[in-house]
Amino acid sequence: MIPDEIAGKYELRGTLGSGAMGTVYDALDRHIERRVAIKVVKRPPPGDPEGEEAHGRFRREAQAAGRLSHPNIVGVYDYGENADTAWIVMELVEGGSLKDRLDRKERFPVPEIVRVMDQVLAALAYSHGRGVVHRDIKPGNIMLAADGTVKMADFGIARLENSSMTQIGTVMGTPSYMAPEQLRGETVDARADIWAAGVMLYQLLTGEKPFEGGFSAVMHKALHTDPPPPSQLSVTAPRAFDAVISRALAKRPEDRYPTAAAFAEAIRAAAAAPVAEAPASGFAGAGRLPGLDTDATLVGSPAPAAAPPRPAAPPPAPTTTGRKAPIGLILGGVGAVVAAGIAAFVLLGTGGDGKQAEQQRLEQLRMAAEREAAERQRAAEAAQAPTQPTTPQQTTPPAPTGPSQAELELERRLRDEEARRAEAARQQQAADAARQQQQAAEAARQQHEAARQQQAAEEARRRAEQLQADLAAAGAALAATPCSLLSVNATPTSLTITGLVRRSDEAALRRQTAALGLPPDSVRLQFRSFDGPYCAALDLVKPYAAGPEAPPQASIIGTTPLAKGELLRMAVSTPPWPSQLYVSYLMQSGEVAHLVPSRPEAANAKVRLGDPAPSFAGWEVDEPYGTDLVLVFTSDRTIFTQRRPQVEKSEDYLRALSGALKAAQAGGGRVAVQAVVVETVPRR
């Protein structure tokens, strides 16, 4: 039902959405003819802690957004509440949320991502500057107006600079977008919003969240792992954004961007960064085959100047006597050897530093050898030219000439180069063998280390199992303490004891716990002490006591101790199966009142007891004052087959209860009990 305060000023035109927190209406402000959105929620009944907290968040949303006026933040115009309803009047944003577009698998081009993030971070910079930390930045809270303007909404869990609403140990937010310190329940500052904006940027770049899964999985990943860089998941994500994401999602707040403005500047710089070009295909010196350059170790190095052409030898003079000396054959053979050596030298390369200069010197030797050979050939031919008539017997062939000094030097250098290459090959083989030995040794070391770690893990597991067994045995011994109703929860690292113990036995129980010799930080005693004649009742129901986390779970609603005239009200949760609920009230006077004789309850029910009704005024506190005891039973069958008196003596009640519990146990029934101490005083 719409409150009169809203109906009198606004014309409702439709519903924009509804959920557990309330309804959002499309409305028109009649006075100034402005379209607005009105969020309306029901106020919780008095004494409902969860409802009061939700109402507080709703009021804080109005307070946080109301102190902000920015083009990228949804404006809040008014807030009101009455006895039944609370409402916020805010700016109407026509258009969906960023989440709607991501859910439709829309992909955003980089310029659009930069534009959206720039406006989001501008809004954050403004709110942070005014002492407001949003704490729930996510696509669902980013609205996109029809003209593309970004509007940040929902400051329901925002932390105000002068507010004490954030308590250490309280986790608030949406897990996938929560910073590590937020997941740990620590007090957060503006850098938690930087993290959430970084998650949103990652989602815009890749279409995926960096940390997926349930709450436990997301918490583990956010605290201990790094997501893949965006460029590995999306071909359209520029590599420059990898570093931006890495800093925004730093585990420690001090390693992130210090401000939203700095984050926005980094995004703009990454978008403007030049795209790294892939290496050019092919190789340097196109047109020459690899390995056939003048220096094979420097692919693409310029070839030395070509050798000048060998001068043409003049035609041999005709002779009529004797045979011509085989000078051309000798020189041709030497030239072939030299040419072959040069070719091999050029093809194989000289290797090492300064090889190009060495190659040039060898080329000069080759040219000098060719020039000397040409000179000797011309000299020999000139010597054979006839200067006077001779007889055949007078013709003497010239002595053959040997290789020149340049040719011998060239051959020597070629042999040295071959020896050097052989030595280099031997050294390479030795290096390969040493590397293989090193790799084998490293593999053996890693295998040994893995075996050691496995052995250490196994030993740690055995120690943990032994510790858990010791803790369980110690807890069982402590739970057997007379005149108590204690529950024990033993884990591999801790022992927690909850329940009730007689006040005179509390010190002895603590000494007994200390005498066990367990690590001090592994034992938590969370029991409550009492005074009163309840030992017989507690010892009777001890075998049926519910565990620390097991139903029934019962607690007093309101502030204790309860004063005269106040009502006793209780909250009870039932087991995950249909059960009968039975509640008895044991008084110091030695009497027992049956508050709830027996009534059926559904599985996993959340029950409130003691609330007034038209035919029930409630359980009012009156004298005698002191310590009373409430026993809350759940069972799969009625405990008492016959109705008990509304009030009876304790000994009669316990005698009948003992027989009823034994009968239920003999019939295979399930019974669980929770004890609650009730302290009453004349006044506070």
- Residues acting as catalytic residues: 136
Asked whether the beta carbons of 124 and 190 are under 8 A apart, the reply is: yes
Q: CB neighbours of 102 closer than 8 A, spacing ≥ 6?
A: 139, 203, 204, 207
Q: What is the DSSP string of 434-472?
A: HHHHHHHHHHHHHHHHHHHHHHHHHHHHHHHHHHHHHHH
Helix axis angle, 190-206 to 110-129, nearest 10°:
170
Do β-strands 523-530 and 495-502 pair in parallel, antiparallel, or remain unpaired? parallel
Separation in Å, CA 612 to CA 45, 308, 406: 13, 120, 123
3-class secondary structure, 7: helix
As beta bridge partners, residue 586 has 592, 629
What's 400's DSSP letter? P
Q: CA 676 to CA 560: how far, in whole Å?
A: 12
Q: How many residues comprise the chain?
A: 684
Which residues are known binding-site members for ATP?
A: 39
Q: CA 295 to CA 349: how far, in whole Å?
A: 5
Q: CA 20 to CA 6: how far, in whole Å?
A: 20
Q: CA 384 to CA 377: how far, in whole Å?
A: 11
Show the tokens assigned to 36: 């607005």
Q: CA 592 to CA 585: how far, in whole Å?
A: 6
Q: Is 556 left (phi over 0), alpha (psi -120 to 50) or beta?
A: beta
Show the tokens assigned to 684: 């506070």
Q: Is 619 left (phi over 0), alpha (psi -120 to 50) or beta?
A: beta
Q: CA 72 to CA 64: how far, in whole Å?
A: 15
Q: CA 342 to CA 334: how far, in whole Å?
A: 12
Q: Residue 455, Cα to own-chain centre: how many angstroms? A: 29
Q: CA 541 to CA 104: how far, in whole Å?
A: 58
Q: CA 378 to CA 372: how far, in whole Å?
A: 10
Show the tokens assigned to 31: 């006075």
3-class secondary structure, 314: coil
CA 374-379-383 angle, to 5 degrees, is 150
Phi, psi torsion values for 635, nearest 5 degrees:
-150, 160
CA 540-544-549 angle, to 5 degrees, is 135
Q: CA 319 to CA 18: how far, in whole Å?
A: 123
Show the tokens assigned to 32: 């100034």
Which residues are known binding-site members?
A: 39
